[in-house]
Structure 1
Amino acid sequence: MIGQLSSRIILLSGWRRALVAFLAGALATLALPPYDFFAVCLVSFPVLVWLIDGAVDTADGGWLRRALPAAVVGWWFGFGYFVAGLWWIGNALLVDAQNFAWALPLAVLGLPAFLAFFYALATLIARLLWSDGLGRIFAIAFGFGIAEWLRSFVLTGFPWNAIGYAAMPVPLLMQSDAALGLYAMNALAVFVFAAPALLADKRHRRTGLALALLLVAAHLGFGFYRLHHAPAVVDEATGVRIRIVQPSIAQSMKWDDAARRAIFDKHIALSEAPPQPGEPKPSIIVWPETSVPYILTRTPEALSRIGEALSDGQVLLAGAVREEEGGGGTGPLYYNSIVAIDDRGEIIDAVDKVHLVPFGEYLPLEKWLRGLGLQEVVEMPGGFTAAASRRSLSVSDGLAFLPLICYEAIFPSELGYSGPKAAAILNVTNDAWYGNTPGPYQHFRQAQLRAVEQGLPLIRAANNGLSAVVDPYGRITDGLALNAVGVIDASLPSGVDPFWGTPPGVVQTWTILVLMVAASCGFQVLSSRRFD
C-alpha cells in the first residue's frame, strides 16, 4: 500500500505536485507549539522525499537544470510550512490597521515566500546528492541542515520554527539539545522524519529504519538519563526569590497617552501585592518588554514612585525605552532596554537590545525606504538603535543575568556576552502584538530551549504571556497562561555546567553535517557503480 502511495506521489506533475508539496509543508506545522503533534512530520517528510524522487528534468541542461524541479518542490513545501506556521505575524499589522493593513499580504505571504527559498536550497542540495534508498535520506537531512543554518544569519537571520523544534516538544526530548545544539538537531530530526519513506523501498530499508530507530532511542535514552540525574525541579539553592509581573496590557493601549498612568499603576499594584502566606518577599521583580510607559530620564516622578513601591533591598528589572542624545545634531537615539532600578528609585544598570527586528524596530535601507513613505511598525521616531554588543545585566553584588529582549531568544549562536557571569537568562518580551495565536507559544518554546543549551535557568516576563520560570533542563517551575493577569513568585533555580563546558555550537553542528554529507556521497558513489 505504501509502495502504491509513493508511486502515485512520484508521478505527480504540474500544479498537483506543487499542491501536495504545499499541503505537506503546512501539515508539518502541527508539530510546532501549541499543537506539538510531531508525528505529522513522519508523513510530511516522506511525501517530500517521494516528490523529489519524481522531480526530474530529463533534458541535458547541466546539473542546475536537473536539480531545479526539486528546488521548486522544496519552495512549495517551504511556502506551505511558513504560511501555516507564521500567518499570525499579520496580527501585528492590524494593531494599527490604518497605517499598516496594506502590508498584510507582505507579512502573511511575502515573508513565507522569501523564507521558502531556504527550503528550495535544501532540496536543491539534496537532489545534487540524490541516490536511491538510504542515500537520499542522508542527502535531504544534510540539505535541510545547511538551509536552517543559513536561515539563522542571512539578512540578519530568522531561524523561527526551525525543524529541530518539532523533535523537542517536552523536557524529556529537549536534553539532546544540550549536547548537540539546534542546528545539529535540525539535520538529525529531518533524517528521522524522512526515514519512513524507506518503507516503500527494497534497498536499505531495514538499515535505514534501524538507524532512525536507533537515533530515536538515543534521543529518548539521553533525555531520561539526564533528567534522572537532575536535581528536583524546585531548587532553592540560590536563595533568590523572583516575582514576574504579567499585566496583559492590550497592544492598542501601550502607547495611548491617556492610558499611560493606568498602565503604570497596574504594574505597580501587581508589584506591591503581598506574597502568598508563609512565602518570603521577592528580592527581584521583573516587568516585561517596554512595560514602562514613560521615558524614565524625562520622568523622575515615575522613578520615585517605583522606589516607593520597592521594599528595602528589592530591585526592579523593567523593559523600558532608553533615550540617549545622538551626535552631530541628529536628535535623540532610542534603545529597547532593560533597566535595573533599586529601592531608592535609582537606575543602577541598563542594557540595550542588540538584535533588532527588521521593519518592526528599524528600517533596513532606511533612507531609500523612508523616501518611499515606509516606516517601522514600532511607534518610535526613527526606530530603535541597536547596542554594539551584548553584556550581562548586574542586578546586585555577585548576581548578574544574561539579557535577551524579545526575539533575541531565537538565536542560539548569538548569546555570547561580556561582563560578570550570568546566573540566569532574563527574557522580557511583549507578544501582545500577536493576540491569541500560536506565535506566543512558539516564542516561549524557543526561549525554553535556550535555557537547556546554556545550562541556565530562564526568567521570562511576557506582557500577556507566556511568562514562566524554567530550570536549565527545560522544566517549567511556575508559569502563567496566555492573557492571564497576575504574578509569579518563584525561587530562582541553580544553573548547571553546559554539557561540553560551553554551549553547543560550531563543532557539534558541523560534525553532524559532515557525517550526513559523507554518507550521502558514499551512497551516491555506490549507486553509480551499481548502474555502471
Structure 2
Amino acid sequence: MTILADRVTRWTGWRRALAAFAAGAAGALAMPPFGFLPALMVSLVPAIWLLDGATRDTRMRTLKAAAVTGWFWGFGYFVAGLWWLGAAFLVEADQFAWALPFGVLGLPALLAFFTAFGFALARLLWTGDATRILAFAAAVTLSEWLRGHLFTGFPWNSPGMALGQNLWLMQSASVVGLYGLTLLGLAIGAAPAVLLTGATRRQRWTAPLMALGVLALMADFGIWRLPDGPVATVENVSLRIMQPNLPQDAKFNPRNRDAIMRRYLAISRYAGEAGKTLDSATHLIWPESAFPFLLHRDPGALAQIAGILRPGSLLITGAARMDEPLPGESVGKFYNAIQTIDHRGTILSAYDKIHLVPFGEYLPHALDALIRAVGLRPFISIPGGFAASEQRTTLAIPGLPPVAATICYEAIFPDAFLPDGPRPDLILNVTNDAWFGSTPGPYQHFAQARLRAVEEGLPLVRAANTGISAVVDPFGRIIGSLPLGTEGVLDADLPRSISQTVYGKSRRFVLTAMLVICLMAPAARRRRRGSPQSPSPTAA
C-alpha cells in the first residue's frame, strides 16, 4: 500500500491535476443529501500526499505547486458539490441557458482560489511528520472562513457540514460552530494519510487513532447533550406551514397571480394531521417571494388573506415590497421582505432582506447595463434589482418570541443572521428553492439552516416553496417536515429556545484558540528541525 502513496506523491503535470480534481470531487459525497462520511477521507488523504510531493527547488515554486494542486482540488470539490446551480439557468432556458457554464464551471473556478490559498499556506507550514495534518486543517479552515466572508461571502458546503448532518456529531457545533466543525472534519479526514507515510508504527498510527478518538468524543458529547424527551413548547402558539410546491416558471408570472392566490388559500385550508385545521393555527406561514405582485399595494389580495384568518391569528409570508419613490424618482426601492398580516388584512411588521444573492437578486449597475446592451435579460426582473436593508433587527410578531428572520440563503451564514440587540428566541427562514428542482441543492440548504439551530440553541421554523419545510428544535431534531417536491401543510407546536450555547457566548474565541494551537504545533516542529524536507512514503 505504501506504493500507492509513493505514486501519488510523485505525480506531476496532468496526472497531479487530475488526481487533485478527482479527490476534491469525491469530497462532495460527504455533503447532503449523501452524507457519506468516509468520502471525506477518500478526498483528503490524496490531498495530503499530493502536498507531500509539491516540493520544488525554491520555496516560491513549492508554494505555487501547492496552490495549483489546491485549485484543482477545490475545482473538483465545488463542481461536484454545486453542479445543481445549473438548474436555475434552465428554468427559462431560452433566456438564460447562455449563462449555464458560468454558474456550473465559472463559480467553482473562482471559489477554488480559496482552496488554492489554503493549500499554499499549509505547504508553508509543512513538516516531515503527522503535525502536517494540523497545518493542513488549520490553513484550509482559514481559507474557508475567508470564503464565507470576502466578496459578500459564500460558505456553502464548508467541509464541516460532513459532521454537521449527524445528530450526535452536530452537537459539537454548540461549542465550536461551523468552522470549528470544519477544522475537526479536515483533521479527522486527513489523518489516515500518515498510515502509509510513517516510518515507524507509532508515526503511522498515532494521528489516525487520535482522529478516531476525537470522533468518538464528539459522538459521546452529542449523546450526553441530547435530552431524553422533547423540549418544552411555547404556550398558546400553534404553527401551520404551507408548502405550495409551485414550479419556478409559474411562480413569478404575473398572469398566474389569481391562480397562485387561490392555490395558497386552498392549501392553507387543508386538513392536517390529528384533525387540525387552519382555525387551529395561531400563525400561518407562507414561503419566500410568495406573490408575483406587491402584496402591500393590493387591497384585494389582503382582503382574501383576511378572509381565511380567524381573529387573533396571523399570516407570516414572504413578499416583495416597494418603498415610496423619492422626490424626482418614478419608482421606489424594492426589497425582498417578510410581512406579518392580521385577520383584518393589516400589515403589522416587516423584515427586509440584508444579505442579497449576487446576480440572483442584484447586479452591479455597469454589468446590468452591459447585459441589456447585448440584448440579454438578467435574472432580476425588478428594475435595478432588490435593495439591501441596512440594519438587521429583531422581527416582532405578536404571539411569538423575538424572531431572527432570514430569507433564503441568509440562514447559511453563521453569526451574520442574528439581529442587533438582545438574543432572539426563534430562527425563522422563508425560502424558495424551486430554482433548483429535485437536486442536492435544497437538501444542502436545509442542512445548513438546521445547523444554525444547534449553534445558537434556538428553534428553527422553515417555510420553503417546494421544500424542505420543517420545524427543528434547538438540538437540531426535526419535529416535523414536508418532503421536497410535495404540497401540503405542516402543523406543529413551537419548541422553546434553550440557554445560550458556548458557541453563542464565545463566537470566534474557541475557533481562534483551535486555529492557534493547530498552527503553532507545526511551526514549533519547523523551528526545532530547521527547514523540513517533504516526507516520503517510507520516511515521515
Q: Please indicate the TM-score interval, normalised by the length of the shorter structure.
A: over 0.9
Q: Is the Cα–Cα contact under 8 Å of residues 239 and 282 in structure 2 kept in the other structure?
A: yes
Q: Is the Cα–Cα contact under 8 Å of residues 371 and 377 in structure 2 kept in the other structure?
A: no
Q: Is the Cα–Cα contact under 8 Å of residues 178 and 503 in structure 1 kept in the other structure?
A: no
Q: Which residue of 2 aligns with 1:478?
A: 480
Q: Which residue of 2 aligns with 1:438?
A: 440
Q: Unpaired runs of 5+ in structure 2?
A: 534-540
Structure 1: how far apart are the matches of 2:264 and 2:505?
35
Q: Which residue of 2 aligns with 1:342?
A: 342
> What one-letter code is carried by the residue in structure 2 that aligns with 1:37?
F
CA drift at 1:57: 1.5
Q: Which residue of 1 aligns with 2:162?
A: 166
> What one-letter code is carried by the residue in structure 1 that aligns with 2:491?
D
> What one-letter code is carried by the residue in structure 2 that aligns with 1:167?
L
Structure 2: how far apart are the matches of 1:153 and 1:487?
36
Structure 2: how far apart are the matches of 1:398 and 1:461?
16
With over 3 angstroms needed to count, the CA separation of the structure-2 counterparts of 1:530 and 1:117, relative to structure 1, is closer
Q: Does 1:199 align with 2:201?
A: no
1:121 aligned counterpart, secondary structure: helix
Q: Is the Cα–Cα contact under 8 Å of residues 455 and 503 in structure 2 kept in the other structure?
A: no
2:44 aligned counterpart, secondary structure: helix
Structure 2: how far apart are the matches of 1:400 and 1:18?
50
Structure 2: how far apart are the matches of 1:221 and 1:506?
24
Q: What percentage of residue pairs aligned between the two structures are identical? A: 44
CA drift at 1:156: 0.4
Q: Which residue of 2 aligns with 1:423?
A: 425
2:415 aligned counterpart, secondary structure: helix
Give CA deviations for 1:245-298 in whole Å, capped at 9, x if unaligned: 000000000122221111111111122234444547111110000013321232
Structure 2: how far apart are the matches of 1:269 and 1:110?
42
Give CA deviations for 1:319-362 in whole Å, capped at 9, x if unaligned: 00001124243322110000000111100000100000001000
| Aligned pairs (5 A) from 1:21-100 | 21-58=20-57, 60=58, 63-100=59-96
Q: Paired residue for 2:130, among 134, 139, 142?
A: 134
Q: Is the Cα–Cα contact under 8 Å of residues 283 and 316 in structure 2 kept in the other structure?
A: yes
Structure 1: how far apart are the matches of 2:321 and 2:43?
46
Q: Paired residue for 1:413, among 405, 412, 415?
A: 415
Q: Paired residue for 1:511, among 498, 510, 513?
A: 513
1:191 aligned counterpart, secondary structure: helix
With over 3 angstroms needed to count, the CA separation of the structure-2 counterparts of 1:307 and 1:530, relative to structure 1, is closer
Q: Is the Cα–Cα contact under 8 Å of residues 233 and 475 in structure 1 kept in the other structure?
A: no
For normalisation by structure 1, the TM-score amounts to 0.95
| Aligned pairs (5 A) from 1:141-220 | 141-200=137-196, 201-202=198-199, 204-220=203-219
1:399 aligned counterpart, secondary structure: coil
Structure 2: how far apart are the matches of 1:178 and 1:421?
15
With over 3 angstroms needed to count, the CA separation of the structure-2 counterparts of 1:178 and 1:485, relative to structure 1, is same
Q: Is the Cα–Cα contact under 8 Å of residues 234 and 491 in structure 1 kept in the other structure?
A: no
CA drift at 1:151: 0.5
Q: Paired residue for 1:243, among 236, 240, 243?
A: 240
Give CA deviations for 1:154-206 in whole Å, capped at 9, x if unaligned: 10000000010012222111100011111122112101110000101125333
CA drift at 1:383: 0.6
Q: Is the Cα–Cα contact under 8 Å of residues 244 and 467 in structure 1 kept in the other structure?
A: yes
Structure 2: how far apart are the matches of 1:88 and 1:452?
27
Q: Which residue of 1 aligns with 2:363?
A: 363
Q: Is the Cα–Cα contact under 8 Å of residues 22 and 73 in structure 2 kept in the other structure?
A: yes
Structure 2: how far apart are the matches of 1:267 and 1:314?
17
CA drift at 1:238: 3.6
2:39 aligned counterpart, secondary structure: helix
2:61 aligned counterpart, secondary structure: helix
Q: Does 1:272 align with 2:265?
A: no
How many corresponding residue pairs? 524
Q: Which residue of 1 aligns with 2:536?
A: none
Q: Unpaired runs of 5+ in structure 1?
A: none
With over 3 angstroms needed to count, the CA separation of the structure-2 counterparts of 1:188 and 1:340, relative to structure 1, is same
CA drift at 1:18: 0.4
With over 3 angstroms needed to count, the CA separation of the structure-2 counterparts of 1:441 and 1:397, relative to structure 1, is closer
Q: Which residue of 1 aligns with 2:538?
A: none
Structure 2: how far apart are the matches of 1:234 and 1:454?
15
CA drift at 1:529: 7.8
Structure 2: how far apart are the matches of 1:503 and 1:249?
40
RMSD between aligned alpha carbons?
1.8
Range with bigger deviation, 253-262 or 234-243: 234-243
1:217 aligned counterpart, secondary structure: helix
> What one-letter code is carried by the residue in structure 2 that aligns with 1:14?
G
Q: Which residue of 2 aligns with 1:488?
A: 490
Structure 2: how far apart are the matches of 1:489 and 1:242?
6
